Amino acid sequence: MDMGKNIFEKIVTSHLVEGRPEPGEEVSIRIDQTLTQDATGTMAFLEFEAIGIPRVKTELSVSYVDHNMLQIDYLNPDDHLYLQTAAARYGAYFSRPGNGICHQVHLERFAAPGKTLLGADSHTPTAGGVGSLAIGAGGMEIAVAMAGAPYTFKYPKIVKVELKGRLKEWVSAKDVALEMLSRLTVKGGVGKAFEFVGEGIKTLSVPERATITNMMVETGATTSIFPSDEVTKAWLEAQGRGEQWKPLMPDEDAKYDEEMEIDLSDLGPLVAMPHSPDNVKKVSEVEGLEVAQVAIGSCTNSSLRDMKLVANALKGKKVPPGTSLLINPGSRQVVLNLIASGEYRYLIEAGARVLENACGPCIGMGGAPPSGSFSVRTYNRNFKGRSGTEDAGVILASPETAVATALNGKLTDPRRMGKMPEIRLPEKFIIDDSMIVPPPPPQEAEKIAIRRGPNIKPLPAFDPLPMEFEGEVLIKLSDNITTDDILPAGANVLPLRSNIERISKFIFHRIDPSFYERAKERGGGFIIGGENYGQGSSREHAAIVPRYLGIRAVIAKSFARIHRSNLINFGVVPLTFARGSDYDVIAWGDRIKVKFGRLEGREILAELSNKGTVIPLRHDLSEREREIVLAGGLLPWIRMRFS
């Protein structure tokens, strides 16, 4: 007899184009909405243009500007103008710089239960907080979805997370996410999607749910989702979108592949210590650490709920001179509501530096902490160097812990702050969509001239996979290498995202600045990685640049989901060791020869000519992925299919 369906399965089934929704099987689903942001979006729109479809075919595509906000020269403003004109020309909505962080604005204004959302940003699952099936992917996948093609992915194992009880005072959704990270680590979610259910969910507002689905990305999960219930309904009504509500619950006898349980009332304030989101400790264990900077915001914790909490905790108090408090509200809506309620004032009076409604310091766009200091941040990633200061330590915390720390100048357990302020979200938010520009009708759109600044270069052409490939091991890396390690972000590098040649010089810049020269000199070669290679962001540049420099295979113990797809989409073969111990056999500088052929079998032999040995490697490409990689990437593959 058929078992009932979980939420994930319900949405997949209602959008299914091809495949069987069984763990490990490849499924293709129809995509209702897409989201892009400026750091990934220029490439995504260039890719969309390369596909050659005149207008986006989704129900809704939104192009946000929130990452590359510093305008110290022409690079970022040119990209913004390109994105604005391209959105108008191709039929996408454009959220102007200053309107807010893509995930926060999308949650407020567009995300709806039962919809599928594909986003060119790893934290797209934030929209799972209202019951959207939201997945992060590389820009090329989003370009293809905008062109109307289904999105193909490996159906994950579905994990039921039963939430019980209710959070205590000063403990919040961020602590739930950190608890999950401490249990799962940064790779425990790979190949899985998490569904949060149980009595406890009723006590969590939509922005709190979204904090959890946002940060669950750090476990490597495909996505996370909450049911759509009365809380969701109230949120949508408060956003003036009540008609978009529909109930979405798992069936009583829904089948899950795994189960977990969290009693919310057992949780206390948690932090993730440098330099990994899974380095979780109780605040009480690490309290007292001197903190130079506190930063509150990011797509994880910048909602009106969080800002109200922070404002009211700061009310009538001052941040001490030794600590700098930076605040990035998530959206213009958040700020307008704070101004109307009078709470905005508490931030200013306390001495907070209120920054733009954007990603800001989270991606190293300003706000770098001093050398050798600690910065407590409500963000989701604390990878070494990501803040812009190589030897600073970033500690990830809830807004509660962050504000307590800001007021004390030392890492502080927020439970010391007395009674927690009561937070009430408005029954109706102040809504002002005037910074979201809708696309003009098709006849007018055709006349729009796209503005391309001099730094915006077309995508390089990529040739098919050669039958065999020989080269040197250019670098050998340990476990959990992030895409920030592969291709850093930050104020100096992000503005080069539209120019592959220029950005390529920054590959592995923090780990090994000589990599670029070596790869250039040798005309390419191999990268060797450990477990979970490419964790973190969706930036496809971390795959395009290696490919551009002549790398045709990465050999690792295992891969993170989005990066693995990005490699394939740009014609780089992700290979794993058939025998784990062979990782130790390969060394920096070894010469490797692999015969790819047509990648027919699962096994590929790597000849280490300088060592006179052969080691077996494996690929786990699906038939479709095999074709894509052989064609040299998703773009040539699509062109082949449609020509």
Binding site for ligand MIC (CB under 6 A): 39-40, 67, 121-123, 363, 489, 536-539
Which of the ranges 359-367, 370-378, 421-429, 464-472 carries the binding residues for ligand SF4, by CB under 6 A?
A: 359-367
Among residues 209, 208, 210, 213, the alpha carbon closest in space to that of 224 is found at: 213
The sign of the CA dihedral 81, 82, 88, 92 is: negative
Q: In the complex, what is the shortest distance from the CB of residue 387 to ligand SF4, in angstroms, rounded to a whole number?
A: 11
Which of the ranges 244-252, 282-290, 358-366, 457-465 carries the binding residues for ligand SF4, by CB under 6 A?
A: 358-366
Q: In the complex, what is the shortest distance from the CB of residue 402 to ligand SF4, in angstroms, rounded to a whole number?
A: 15
Helix 139-146 × helix 634-642 angle, to 10°: 20
Residue 590 partner contact from ligand SF4, ligand MIC, none using kind-dependent CB cut-offs of 5 to 8 Å: none
Judge whether 19 and 56 are in contact, CB under 8 Å.
no
Residue 70 partner contact from ligand SF4, ligand MIC, none using kind-dependent CB cut-offs of 5 to 8 Å: none
Q: In the complex, what is the shortest distance from the CB of residue 505 to ligand MIC, in angstroms, rounded to a whole number?
A: 17
Asked if 497 touches ligand SF4 (CB under 6 A), the answer is: no
The nearer residue to ligand MIC, 387 or 538, going by C-beta atoms, is 538
Tokens for 582, please give them. Answer: 């062979």
Q: How many residues bind ligand SF4 (CB under 6 A)?
A: 11
Residue 211 partner contact from ligand MIC, ligand SF4, none using kind-dependent CB cut-offs of 5 to 8 Å: none
Q: Which of residues 270-329 bind ligand SF4 (CB under 6 A)?
A: 298-299
**What's the rounded Cα separation, in Å, for the pair 595 and 85?**
45
CA 59-65-67 angle, 5° bins: 130
Q: In the complex, what is the shortest distance from the CB of residue 350 to ligand MIC, in angstroms, rounded to a whole number?
A: 27
Binds ligand SF4 by CB under 6 A, chosen from 47, 79, 108, 121: 121
Q: How many other C-beta atoms lie within 10 A of the C-beta of residue 466?
A: 12
β-pairing, 374-377 vs 393-396, is parallel
E strands along 252-377, which residues?
258-263, 270-272, 280-282, 293-296, 324-327, 353-354, 374-377
Reported as type and span, the H/E element at residue 119 is strand 116-119
The nearer residue to ligand MIC, 44 or 338, going by C-beta atoms, is 44
Q: In the complex, what is the shortest distance from the CB of residue 232 to ligand MIC, in angstroms, rounded to a whole number?
A: 25
The nearer residue to ligand MIC, 87 or 101, going by C-beta atoms, is 101
Asked if 380 touches ligand SF4 (CB under 6 A), the answer is: yes
Asked if 362 touches ligand SF4 (CB under 6 A), the answer is: yes
Per DSSP, 614 falls in state E
Alpha helices in 52-165 (DSSP H): 75-90, 102-109, 139-146
The interface mask with ligand SF4, positions 67-106, x = CB under 6 A, is x---------------------------------x-----
- Residue 164 DSSP SS3: strand
Q: Which of residues 174-213 bind ligand SF4 (CB under 6 A)?
A: none
**What's the rounded Cα separation, in Å, for the pair 69 and 98?**
9
Evaluate the omega torsion of the peptide bond into residue 103 and state whether it is cis, within 30 degrees of 0: no
Residue 40 partner contact from ligand SF4, ligand MIC, none using kind-dependent CB cut-offs of 5 to 8 Å: ligand MIC
Residues of this chain that interact with ligand SF4 (CB under 6 A) are: 67, 101, 121, 123, 298-299, 359, 362-363, 379-380
